[in-house]
Amino acid sequence: MHAPITHFHMFFGLGSGAAGFQDARPEIPGLQARMVFLGGMDADPAGAEGFHNPAS
């Protein structure tokens, strides 16, 4: 069985947290999940501008 796990990030300017979540492949016997990036926000416009969507 496959299940989505959604994630959203506050202060995502560096992008490493979102990328790490996106790379995760959580799995338990009988259930495998996939990470779905919903988006994020940052107080610093320059940080938000430099962010790359880890899902793309």
22-52 per-position pLDDT tens digit: 889 999 999 999 999 888 888 888 777 766 6
Give the pLDDT of residue 31.
93
In whole angstroms, what separates CA 44 from the centre of its chain? 19
Q: Are 7 and 37 a contacting pair, CB within 8 Å?
A: yes
**What is the edge-to-edge ordering of all strands in the sheet holding 27-28?**
2-10, 31-41, 27-28
- Which residue would you say has higher pLDDT here, 21 or 28? 28
C-alpha R_g of the chain: 13
- pTM of the predicted model as reported, rounded to 2 decimal places: 0.66
Domains in the chain: boundaries: 2-49
Which residue reads 């996106």 in tokens?
A: 22
- CA atoms within a 13 Å half-sphere pointing along the CA-CB vector of 46: 0
